[in-house]
């Protein structure tokens, strides 16, 4: 069983928040989904290596050569709040924050 406390904890890890109604809804749904994925416990995976990717590539490197980027003006076009060519954000150091 997934508890509301667990859901709240995971939501915090994922930087999401839910109101009470959403929390109840997500807890019920996630409980069902976790219950569904728990059927993997029927499979004996003793000694089986996990597969995290399916290519045979190991580490793919490129030469460390400087390349031209898109440019500051282009990159700033999508910034939600901008001032003087900089990205504007709320105070980062805030005594009330953890």
Query: Torsion angle, CA of 89/93/96/97, rounded to 10 degrees?
Result: 80
Distance between CA 42 and CA 63 in Å, rounded?
47
Which of 20, 42, 64, 84 contacts other proteins by CB under 8 A? 42
Q: What size, in residues, is the chain?
A: 98
Task: Verify binding: residue 78, other proteins, rule CB under 8 A.
Answer: yes
Q: Is 1 in the site for other proteins (CB under 8 A)?
A: no
If one asks whether residue 67 binds other proteins (CB under 8 A), the answer comes out as no
The conformational region for residue 47 under phi > 0 = left, psi -120 to 50 = alpha, else beta, is left
Element spanning 86, H or E: strand 86-87
Minimum distance between the CB of residue 83 and other proteins, rounded to whole angstroms?
14
Neighbours of 8 (CB within 10 A): 15
Q: For residue 72, state whether it binds other proteins (rule: CB under 8 A).
A: no
> Does residue 23 belong to the site contacting other proteins (CB under 8 A)?
no
Interface residue list for other proteins (CB under 8 A): 2, 6-7, 10-11, 13-18, 26, 29-30, 32-34, 36-43, 45, 48-55, 57, 60, 62, 70, 74-75, 77-81, 87, 89-92, 94, 96-97
């Amino acid at each position: 069983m997934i508890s509301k406390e667990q859901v709240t904890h995971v939501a915090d890890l994922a930087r999401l928040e839910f109101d009470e109604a959403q929390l109840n809804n997500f807890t019920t749904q996630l409980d069902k989904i976790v219950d569904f994925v728990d059927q993997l416990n029927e499979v004996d995976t003793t000694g089986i290596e996990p597969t995290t990717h399916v290519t045979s590539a190991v580490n793919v490197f490129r030469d460390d050569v400087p390349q031209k980027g898109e440019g500051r003006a282009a990159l700033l076009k999508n910034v939600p709040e901008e001032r003087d060519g900089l990205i504007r954000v709320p105070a980062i150091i805030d005594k009330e924050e953890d």
